[in-house]
Amino acid sequence: MQSTTLNAVVSLLLAIVVLGGCGPGEAPSGEVAESSANAAATSEDKDNTAQANLDLLLARQAMPGRPIYEAACASCHEGAVKKAPHRDMIGLMPPEAILRSLEQGIMQEEASGLTPDERVQVAEFLAGTAMGTVAATDLPACADGVSEPDFSTAPDVINWGLEATNARHIPAAAAGLSAEQLPHLKPRMAVRFPSANRVRSQPTFVGGAILVGSHSGKVYALDQESGCAHWSYQASSEVRTGIVFGRLAADQGAPTTAAFFGDLLGHVYAVNATTGEELWRQRADDHPNATITGTPSLHDGVLYAPVSSLEVNLALDPYYECCTFRGSVAAYAAATGELLWQTYTIDEPAVVQSQNRAETNMRGPSGAVIWNSPAIDVKRNQLYVATGENMSSPATLTSDAIFAMDLDDGTVNWVFQATANDVWNVACDTENDHSCPPEGGPDFDFGAATMLLTASDGQEVVIGGQKSGLVHAVNPDDGSLAWQTRVGRGGIQGGVHFGMAALGDRLFVPISDMADGREYSDPARPGLHALDIRTGEILWSALNPDACNGRDFCHPGISQAVTAAGNLVFAGAMDGILRVHDAETGSVLWEIDTTGEFTTTTGEATHGGSFGGAAGPIIHHGELALSSGYGIYNHMAGNLLLVLSASELPSP
């Protein structure tokens, strides 16, 4: 197969500029290989930005690794080999990680015919940046005498949602952090990950260790006190998910503790939580653009993995037969990795539906991918996930929808569709719109995880927050609508992105509402909002001030998942500021700007950036852990895992 034409690649970059870098709450519809194309997408500077990034792309196309890649790699990585990750997927990795795959990892045999210099050049071309652009020094291993983690007691929180229902609430006793202690929080430990310009994996505190993934694909068990690495495990690509800690039954012949996660290239892993040794690894889908962004959920010995895709980007190439991917949930036996069931969000595989203006076959239906972590309903023996838009026509009844699936066999019990006929891909809203479906959007998928909440009156509802700016509450028994409230303006980069939180009868809804080049009738409402889960009534709104002061790629909206702890709500914004709100009133009690310089445990300097992705704040026994830095999708790059402590308090 011939490689993508230069014109198509140029058009892709221009579309990224115009659309502001689409994707789920990161705009699920539009992860891109050109992470260096961090450009503002307002109408005022769109033209200048497009030209600047066009110059950057042309320079990349002139890199010496391009002809080597086209001769040695393109035939597999641009569609001919089904299981081979597409070039766009590989390009989201830092060059050091790509080179490691060529020299030591899964691609070692295929790259054996290249010289060392050629392998470096290919890695730099694919990543679009030179080696050493970001810190590459690995985290130090723990020395003798550092106590090993003690996993004999259960962790305070489980799964990404901090409880099985995804409520993202940490009880006050486990959090150990009150409003009175906030002014006394001080940075205690700062970590800079190697080969990273973003921090997207939510840390897990357990047994004196912090389990966390990284942009380079390494997963670490860091010592909670010093930050040294008890062990590290190298995954095949970036680990964006959180790390789920679990116990395995001893009679199954497996270690008693394990860590579970997924990676950018669609693999699901289990490793020994004590040693970091791989227990099993599975690829959740053979599609070359499959990915895992939502953290798998562990329940009763089964790991439920949500499966998504970045195929939506390839539609900008008018010669790409868009699109064929279907979202799914894959259920694995946690001890062995055996696939127990896999349920697709679209029943039928894609077939040829029409041709575009370039006379390329258009396939469908496709899409309805799942970006978010499943919520577990033990009472009804079902899980809840929410889907993205269709990527090609025809539209299905399962896109932009909330699903209830049986835990035992994956049977779909019901589907609630929030937005009908939402068919969109990256070709839409651009000049190169050959493959844009007739519906043309609006791209209002669900990026944030669904939640199962119980009100004080006993009413149970499944909550879903959407990029449209709407929050939906449905009946967990049959999916019927209970209430629906508009909270934000919505948009490709608007509305609810990565996760809400709840406490009692209050639902805390973060709103991004970042500009995306479109015109909207409603005003933007970036900030944090509280709703009554019984009625959907907005109780208070705390709009974030514009604290960007002209900084590039800065925005006051909240994209990252938020966390409730005790009577506090922790919300990190795209301006790099973490704000702590009073749950009753919404007033800001304390804040910290993470874009300043911090000294790491190894004596180096690092800084944070925009808060983005699903790596929400974690509060653990008087300490606050923040994942700051989101160098993609027009957001501020950064590389900071920051742990603050309030242990030193003034005498009464």
pLDDT (average), residues 577-581? 98
pLDDT in tens, 159-209: 999 999 999 999 999 999 999 999 999 999 999 999 888 999 999 999 999
Q: In the structure, what pLDDT confidence band is assigned to residue 75 with cuts at 50, 70 and 90?
A: low
Report which secondary-structure segment, H or E, holds 605: strand 605-607
Reported as a pLDDT band with limits 50, 70 and 90, residue 631 is confident
At 122 the pLDDT is: 77
Average pLDDT across the chain, whole number: 86
pLDDT of 417 > 80? The answer is yes
Q: How confident is the model at residue 583 (pLDDT cuts 50, 70, 90)?
A: very high
Question: Cα–Cα distance between 412 and 200 in angstroms, integer?
Answer: 30
Q: Are 623 and 530 within one domain? A: yes
Mean pLDDT within 129-140: 72
Please report, for the domain that includes residue 260, its CATH number: 2.140.10.10
Which of the pair, 572 or 56, is modelled with greater confidence? 572
* 142 located within any domain: no
* 481, pLDDT greater than 60: yes
Residue 135 counted as domain residue: no
Mean pLDDT of all residues in 499-527: 94
What single string gives the DSSP state of each residue in 9-46?
HHHHHHHHHHHTS--TTT-SS---S-TT------TTTH
Does residue 7 have a pLDDT over 60? no
CA distance 229 to 231: 5
pLDDT above 70 covers what percent of the chain?
Answer: 83
Claim to verify: residue 571 and residue 439 sit in the same structural domain: yes
Q: Write the DSSP symbol of residue 630.
A: B
Contacts of residue 144, defined as CB under 8 A and 6 or more positions apart, other chains included, come to none
336-391: pLDDT as tens digits = 999 999 999 999 999 999 999 999 999 999 999 999 999 999 999 999 999 999 99
Q: Please report whether residue 487 resides in a domain.
A: yes
| 526 and 633 together in one domain | yes
Q: Is residue 518 part of a domain?
A: yes
User: For the CA atoms of 198, 294, 272, 337, what is the dihedral angle to 10 degrees?
Assistant: -140
Residue 552 tokens read as 């590039």
Say if 143 falls within a structural domain: no
- Residue 429, in any domain of the structure: yes
- 229 pLDDT above the threshold of 70: yes
Q: Are residues 201 and 80 in the same domain?
A: no
How much of the chain exceeds pLDDT 90, in percent?
69
Residue 164 lies in a domain: no
pLDDT of 328 reads 98
313 with 390, same domain? yes
Q: How many domains, in total, are found in the chain?
A: 2
For the ranges 254-263, 279-288, 462-471, 521-530, which has the lowest average pLDDT? 254-263
**Among 66, 94, 127, residue at a domain's last position:** 127
Q: What is the mean pLDDT of residues 119-142?
A: 75
Q: In terms of domains, do 360 and 418 share one? A: yes
Same domain, residue pair 99 and 195: no
Q: Which pLDDT band holds residue 235 (cuts at 50, 70, 90)? A: very high
Residues 609 and 544 in one domain: yes
The residue from 103, 127, 151 where one domain ends is 127
CA distances from 329 to 128, 304, 506, 581 (A): 32, 7, 29, 34
Residues in the chain: 652
Residue 153 maps to a domain: no
Burial of residue 520 (number of CB atoms within 10 Å: 0-12, 13-18, 19+): middle
Q: Are residues 291 and 392 in the same domain?
A: yes
Residue at a domain's end among 100, 127, 154: 127
Asked if 472 and 612 sit in the same domain, the reply is yes
Contact status, residue 209 vs residue 223, Cβ threshold 8 Å: yes
User: What pLDDT sits at residue 391?
Assistant: 97
Is pLDDT at 11 greater than 90 in this prediction?
no
The answer to whether residues 209 and 332 belong to one domain is yes
Do 118 and 186 sit in the same domain of this protein? Answer: no
For the residues 268-292, what does the mean pLDDT come to?
95
- Read off the pLDDT band of 41 (50, 70, 90): very low
DSSP code, position 342: E
Interatomic CA distance for residues 417 and 412, integer angstroms: 14
What was the pLDDT predicted at 35? 35
Has residue 123 got a pLDDT over 90? no
Mean local confidence (pLDDT), 259-288:
96
pLDDT range class, residue 17, cuts 50, 70, 90: very low
Read off the pTM: 0.88
Residue 36: which domain range?
Answer: 6-127
- pLDDT of 300 above 70: yes
